[in-house]
A and B are shown apart, each in its own frame.
Chain A
Amino acid sequence: MELLSGGEMIARALEDEGVEYIFGYPGGAVLHIYDALFKDCKVPHVLVRHEQAATHAADGYARATGKPGVVLVTSGPGATNAVTGIATAYMDSIPMVVLSGQVQSHLIGEDAFQETDMIGISRPIVKHSFMVKRSEDLPLIIKKAFHIASSGRPGPVVIDIPKDVTRPDETYEYRYPKSVKMRSYSPAQRGHTGQIKKAAKLLLAAKRPVIYSGGGVILGEASELLTQLARKLNYPVTNTLMGLGGYPGSDRQFLGMLGMHGFYEANMAMHHSDCILAVGARFDDRVTNTVSKFCPSAKVIHIDVDPASISKTVIADIPIVGPVQSVLTELLSQIDLLTEKDAGVPDQAALKRWWDQIDEWRDAHGLFTGRRYAESDMIMPQQVIESLYRVTGGDAYVTSDVGQHQMFAAQYYRFDKPRRWINSGGLGTMGFGLPAAIGVKLAFPDQEVACVTGEGSIQMNIQELSTCTQYNTPVKIINLRNNYLGMVKQWQDMQYEGRYAMSTYEDSLPDFIKLVEAYGHVGIQVKKLADLDGAMENAFAMKDRLVFLDIFIDPMEHVYPMHIAPNGSMKDMWLSKNERT
């Protein structure tokens, strides 16, 4: 058996785990590890410019590939800088393993240089964490970390590693475990058959059904099954912000996103539904509006791998705990059995009435049927996303930051495939978009990757333009420039009589074109609608260059629909600045 130091074991274990990239930043406490990576490790390391970006890049990689992202940071400030990215991954259930350096064991607790209690700081935002006490424990701990991060409901796992544990002069026998079993951790493997039977019956008896699916369908690789189910029954589907791409966005049965900025027809259908099939979604407050008024006549079937997601806010009539893939498979065969026995289900006449009603809603206020922009040379943000959609054939990986641009991207880019839409839904982290795009582009160098952002968000991790230069990640940055913290401004317009407290910075924005050029990239400014498509095509034609499109848009535009809160229900929406339901 081979003898390796702690640092070498980490390098080797990451290889043995099949890790494709390590995103990180060196510092004192992890120098033994870095030296081991330098001397002998097949896994390439991506040096970011800020540890927050390491976690977002690993996160983007994980969202696009389904494999855990890997992060390596030093102790103290390195670890605390990573915290926002860990919390971002935690809120969206993204598999990630974060190796953080720690001061030497004998110094722990003495306020040593660059000491911080990373296990304590990260406790509420990790699925689990490990403090390594002995070098020989490293292989098993690393195996466990990957296992926990990527199974069940995925999430980030932190491994805190004191420097002495990785010292080069002490070696141990190395053997990487093939698999690991833990008595205290065993996520559900399949759903309860009795419950699934009940669900099939309820679903088939529905007269006004809606399938409401979330990020769990994407994480659980169940998009195909979900699509099969919806098509078989001809039931309408709506996706959460995290679930976009879980059902083909350009399909007739798709009602669009639901929730705070959801489509009119999606929110109306939910509100009037008599049966909601929730799959891998968690009824969060940005979806439900006022919980007590949520979908008053609906029976709820809720499928999720995490029992704690079920009946947390909205009580499920039929809870089913299990991986969405296996539960949907079983549900499909139960439905087959029942429809064979009784040709009368589902009730086609009722279903036709339901679709007629939905089409009426869609014709009245659907984003693609109802709304038109005034003739003007000013670019509307929606038009930018529509242009992006056309130029990329609807098949790009789109990352985003947080704000109005994020909502426009979610509404207007019709994602047909899972894992194409990459955004911070749960935590809403500005600064996520660019580093996430780096992670995606590294995973899929031949695919188009666009980062839809705003001039506020992009400045939160703008330094990563340098990482893009170093690792040649030619992503396209679509900057929806409105010269405001647009989403903040929208709320101030709607709730604070247009008092723009700290939401403007117009006269102090950088010249983005010069800025990206300074990093060696291409910048294109677009101010007229007539130039938009050309510039977009131009940008994507430059396959090997990072192009920053600085697109000046109508600064006064708001995102609609928008739920009316507080005390509103799903169906209470602003449809424009002066129309409401």
Chain B
Amino acid sequence: MRRIISMLMENEPGALSRVVGLFSQRGYNIDTLNVAPTDDPTLSRLTLTTVENDLRIEQLTKQLNKLVDVVKLADLTEGAHIERDLMLIKVRATGVAREEVKRTTDIFRGQIVDVGPTVYTIQLVGTSDKLDSFVAAMAGAEILEVVRSGVAGISRGEKVLSL
């Protein structure tokens, strides 16, 4: 099953490499990875997605928790949560395709954030599934470049991942 694991990590050099290294060391795959500072400058928030069975996930979260730099960890997929992935996609926009790309972007509530004589750059925010569908819907157009932030996630309601 696909899991979204989110953690608060000491903002120390080497912390990220310990987390990432653990995956290869123990034979796990990371599908997406997102890491950035938080409101507390001593902490960064890391969110990653991976597809594994329950047993392997249990072992993985235990191993991650054991890392001294990991302060707190949650498997967001265990409860109601919000996930967002941000995509910037550059497509060829000439002739009839120009209109078509614009229309599809509107349907997906994306924004064209850069316009060139022959290209559009579109920004789209949503779940990974939504971004995947958008890319699929663009199949008719010529996709020049795709860049995604990886999933960031947060629990719904009162539940928080904080110190």
Contact = CB atoms under 8 A, between A and B. Distances in A.
Interface of A: 119-120, 123-124, 127-129, 131, 148, 182-185, 306-308, 311-312, 315
Given A184-B10, A306-B66, A308-B66, 10 more contacts: A123-B21, A124-B21, A131-B13, A131-B14, A148-B68, A183-B71, A184-B71, A307-B62, A311-B58, A312-B59
B17 A127 contact: no
Contacts of A185: 68
Given A183-B71, A184-B68, A184-B71, A311 B55 contact: yes
B68 to A, nearest CB: 4
B104 interface: no
Given A307-B62, A308-B63, A311-B58, A182 B68 contact: yes
B163 A120 contact: no
Nearest to A127: B68
A157 to B, nearest CB: 9
5 contacts: A128-B68, A148-B68, A184-B71, A185-B68, A311-B58
A183 B59 CA distance: 22
A291 to B, nearest CB: 12
B124 interface: no
Interface string B88-132: 000000000000000000000000000000000000000000000
Interface string B56-92: 0011001101101111000000000000000000000
Contacts of A120: 17
Interface string B10-35: 10011001100100010000000000
A119 B70 contact: no
B68 A183 contact: no
B14 A119 contact: yes
B69 A184 contact: yes
Contacts of A308: 59, 62-63, 65-66
B31 to A, nearest CB: 22
A308 B55 CA distance: 11
A308 B64 CA distance: 9
Contacts of B65: 307-308
A128 B69 CA distance: 9
Contacts of A182: 68
Nearest to A144: B68
Interface bracket on B: 10 to 19
B20 to A, nearest CB: 10
Chain B contact surface mostly:
helix
A95 to B, nearest CB: 15
B62 A184 contact: no
Chain A contact surface mostly:
mixed
Contact of A124 (B25, B58, B71): B25
Contacts of B63: 308
B18 A123 contact: yes
Nearest to A307: B62
A183 B18 CA distance: 18
B15 to A, nearest CB: 10
Nearest to B15: A184
Contacts of B70: 184
B125 to A, nearest CB: 31
Q: Which 3 A-B pairs have the closest CB atoms?
A: A308-B62, A184-B71, A128-B68
Contacts of B66: 306-308
B161 to A, nearest CB: 14
Contacts of B58: 311
A312 B56 CA distance: 8
Contacts of A124: 21, 25
B163 A183 contact: yes
A461 B62 CA distance: 37
A308 B22 CA distance: 13
A129 B163 contact: no
Contact of A129 (B10, B14, B25, B55): B14
Contacts of B163: 183
A120 B13 CA distance: 11
Contacts of B68: 127-128, 148, 182, 184-185
Contacts of B55: 311, 315
Contacts of A129: 14
Contacts of A315: 55
A405 B77 CA distance: 51
- Residue from A120, A124, A308 having most chain B Cβ neighbours under 10 A: A308
Nearest to B9: A184
Contacts of A306: 66
Nearest to B10: A184
Nearest to B163: A183
B133 to A, nearest CB: 38
A127 B63 CA distance: 11
- Residue from A124, A127, A184, A315 having most chain B Cβ neighbours under 10 A: A184
A120 B20 CA distance: 12
Contacts of A312: 59
A96 to B, nearest CB: 15
B54 to A, nearest CB: 11
A527 B149 CA distance: 71
B7 to A, nearest CB: 10
A119 B14 CA distance: 8
B10 to A, nearest CB: 6
A152 B69 CA distance: 16
Contacts of A311: 55, 58-59
A123 B23 CA distance: 12
B103 to A, nearest CB: 49
- Residue from B13, B59, B70, B71 having most chain A Cβ neighbours under 10 A: B59
Nearest to A185: B68
Nearest to B59: A312
Contacts of A184: 10, 68-71
A124 B23 CA distance: 11
